[in-house]
Structure 1
Amino acid sequence: MNLHFFQLTLQTQVSLHPKCSKLKLTHLIFADDLILFVRGDLPSVQGAVHLLNLFTNWSGLRANISKTEIYFGGVSSAVKALILQHTGFTEGSFPFRYLRIPLNSCRNSTEVYGTLVTKIQNSLLHWSKPGRVQILNSVIFGITNFWCASALLPKAILKRIIKICKDFFLHVDEGCRKQVFHSWAAVCRPAQEGGLGVKEILSWNKALLAKWLWLLENDTSGIWAQWNRAYILSTGSIWTISVKDRYSECLCSILAVKEEIVARTGSIVAATQILNSWVRHGKFQVSTTYHWFRDKGETVYWFKALQGNAIVPKHKTCAILAASKHLPMVDLLISRGLILINRCVLCQVAVESHEHLFFSCTFSQDVWNALLQWMHLCSRSVSLWTELRWMAQTKGQRHWKNMWRKACLAAAIYYLWQERNQRIFTGHESSYAALLSQIQFTVKHRLLACNSLPSCLVAHLA
């Protein structure tokens, strides 16, 4: 079909679209979605229809007239009416969707992006609450990636998406409010900085667009880059042009990212160097670019102590929040005037705080000491941060003994926190023995699911 279309253009039966003539671009196709580009006159449109009829004769596949639309730009009303009469097509209106992305002749309004927000909300309805961090990183950003790579999302849409993610992470139902003891920026930091590794969507948006900026300079085979160099960059470089009203939303977004890079680096030369530094073996590294755009925090000393596949993901999330002192402990609730009771529900002796619960509380001490004995360790319980520092500084982070201790520590934090909440909100108490048995059972099966465990550990856990 492509060859026949080209032959028709050579025979002047079909005139190329004015913005496609330099590249002799006739169509775009993906799966069963086809877009044909021709000049807005009757002979050219009739030639395109003739081509579709030839394709039907060759293949037996016929275009669905009810789903076929024609879009005009700069065509008079008389010519438009004539074309519609001869083809039987309906006139389409912008924006229309191609590969699920809205294509428009001007900047998309906030309402157009509403479908993205709706899709994210509907996706979360089908997922259970455990593993919220993994769901946010896989499902939510899997949905938004395609949109983020096409344009800078409007601020209003970004706020709505972030609110949806925050409410899902905090298990907040629509219309409810919940006290937050850690910022969303802290949640979006990587583990090295005490965060949970959820991607910060605005920085990810900019990183994906920075890839297009690099492609404009270096891609020689892609149609998109060739078209922009032929019609937009024919008189200058991407580094020298500025935003104009006639530019597409995608290109305006790329230019905005370019301006930010230049502003942060200080010059075009430095911006070019930093852009090229994000390339490895000829491929643009979006993840490296993302870390350049995001706000960075200080590296925490304990992050290595909570790494490894031996730790259950939900245990790791709770342990990171505990190590960062972001769990809603009684001392924090009192400081905000939310409650008046100031006793630890596990020991009924001291005021509850992160330092007390992990592991100054007699109940939590007994649990952790029993786990140390189960791991054949002679040390006694100390504070959580002393344990984390010791584990982080220990050599051989992937050694099975260290994996065992990490899994036990994270599980102890998670189940102690769960027991504390259970006693406060349901009044149900688990015994020390029952809690210890639950931790050992979970850790044992998690470790047995890991590969390359030594036979001595397998025999001890079995």
Structure 2
Amino acid sequence: MPVTYLGLPLTIRKPKKIHFKPLVDAFQKKLDGWQSKFLSLGGRLTLVKSVLTALPLHYMQVIKLPSWLIKHLDGIRRRFFWKGNDKCLGGHCLVNWTKCCLPKKCGGLGILDLQTQNQALLMKWLWKLLSEPDSTWSSTVNLLYGTTDVATLSLDTRISAAFKDILQYKDFFSASVSVVGGNQGPIWKWSATGNYSSASAYRLLADPGWRSPYHSILWKLKIPPKVRVFLWLALLDRILTQQNLLIRNWPTISACKCCSLDCTETTAHLFILCDFAKQIWSRLRIRYNIPPLLDPPDLHTFWTQNRAVIGDIWDVIWAATIWIIWKERNRRVFSSRSLSSTLLMAEICATIEAWKRIL
């Protein structure tokens, strides 16, 4: 001891930093093979959720990851999502990582929170003690400590360090399980089948108790992933408009580049209140024969209130127009170029028609 067994450090004491080096090296190996500068935020989000988040799951099923390791892995995931392989400072993160790790229904990106997922996976061993009394796991615990009762085990001073980490969750686990008589066995309250699953435990543990007003629509839009992430940022008012650049003390443009008004560029101004934006919305209203638009002072209300009148087709019109206006704004700021109104409308309409075909 310690030895490596099935890719995991096997030790009677708490694992040391050196034991987790293969996991950290696996993260770095993945990052070295990705051309992050050619990936959009949507592409990087997919890699974070499907690859980087999956790497520690093998460890998390049997070991409670130390806080320093979770912080380190979160730093790698956060840096790659916001900046790729470049250095990532606090100002580069448009939304804090805690919010990014919230479920989509709660306004986040649905990235797994490692600490919460670790707890959900470890509680599986407590479930096995109750539901599978004849399993090798239950028999081993009974042989070592003379019982499989969770409350009794938590008081035993002979318990190993790894088992102590699992027993830390006994209170939450016990409150979530109903034990009935007969041959029915224990029932997990948070799943339809009554059987424990780490997914159901994670959903419960990660739920802050409130809901995003637009999640059920935004993440189901049949549009490119990078556009969905951009719209998520815009709805949170976190895109780098002049106002948000000033908050971060970054060099910024003097005023809105899309209109002649000498006013601070905000999200609401750029996409709704700007004369440039109003002309675009007016021409789109005529082009698609939609009723007069309401002009509320924020992007979310502008979307939802007009959607209630126009219908589902408004989702594509709204998303495509917001996206193209942002591209035109960046063209004017960074390249000092602009499209004519005719070409800009043609680009917006072509984008709308392309996205309508995949609905």
Q: 1:171 to 1:377 in 2, by over 3 A?
A: same
TM value normalised by structure 2: 0.83
Deviation at 1:289, TM superposition (A): 1.3
Aligned to 1:419: 328
- d(CA) in 2 for partners of 1:163, 1:115: 17
**In the TM superposition, what is the alpha-carbon distance from 1:137 to its structure 2 partner?**
1.5
* Structure (1 or 2) with the larger CA radius of gyration: 1
Residue 210 (str. 1) matches residue 123 (str. 2): yes
- Within-5 A mapping of 1:274-289: 276-289=188-201
- Equivalent position of 2:15 in the other structure: 108
Number of the residue aligned with 1:310: 222
**Secondary structure of residue in 2 paired with 1:240:** helix
Q: Pick 1 or 2: higher relative contact order, CA cutoff 8 A, min separation 6.
A: 2
Map 1:247-326; keep pairs closer than 5 Å: 247-248=159-160, 250-259=162-171, 261=172, 270-273=175-178, 276-294=188-206, 296=208, 298-326=210-238
CA deviation after TM superposition for structure 1 residue 151, in Å: 1.5
Deviation at 1:372, TM superposition (A): 4.0
Q: Hey, what does 1:183 align to over in structure 2?
A: 96
- Correspondence for 2:61: 149
Q: Which of residues 96, 99, 115 in structure 1 aligns to 2:4? A: 96
Q: CA deviation at 1:449?
A: 3.4
CA root-mean-square deviation: 3.0
The separation in 2 between residues aligned to 1:125 and 1:366, in whole angstroms, is: 46
After TM superposition, give the deviation of residue 356 of structure 1 in Å: 0.6
| C-alpha distance in 1 between matches for 2:285 and 2:26 | 47
Please give the alpha-carbon distance, in whole angstroms, between the structure 2 residues aligned to 1:446 and 1:317. 16
Specify whether residues 119 and 376 from structure 1 end up closer, same or farther in structure 2 by C-alpha distance, changes over 3 A only: farther
Letter aligned with residue 163 of structure 1: G
C-alpha distance 279-191 of structure 1, shift in aligned 2 (>3 A): closer
| 3-state secondary structure, aligned to 1:284 | coil
Give distance in 2, aligned partners of 1:285 and 1:164: 28
Q: 1:173 to 1:137 in 2, by over 3 A?
A: closer
Counterpart residue number, 1:352:
265
The equivalent of 1:53 in structure 2 is: none
Q: Distance in 2 between matches of 1:325 and 1:333?
A: 12
Q: 1:90-144 CA distances to partner (integer Å, 9 max, x unpaired)?
A: xxx622141x323233221122212212212322344452222222221122222
Correspondence for 1:388: 303
| AA of the residue aligned to 1:390 | Q
Match of 1:199 among 108, 112, 136: 112
- In 2, Cα distance between equivalents of 1:369 and 1:223: 70
Matched ranges for 1:325-336 at <5 A: 325-336=237-248
Structure 1 residues 310 and 240: CA distance shift in structure 2, 3 A: same
Displacement after TM superposition at 1:323 (Å): 1.0
**Contact preservation (8 Å) 2:293, 2:306:** no
Query: What's the offset of the Cα at 1:340?
Result: 5.5
Distance in structure 1 (CA, Å) of the matches to 2:216 and 2:135: 42
Contact kept, 8 Å, 1:153 with 1:205, in 2: the verdict is: yes
Unaligned runs of 5+ in 2: 180-186
Which residue number in structure 2 is paired with residue 449 of structure 1?
358
- Aligned residue pairs: how many? 343
Structure 2 counterpart of 1:444, which letter? Answer: E
Partner of 1:135: 47
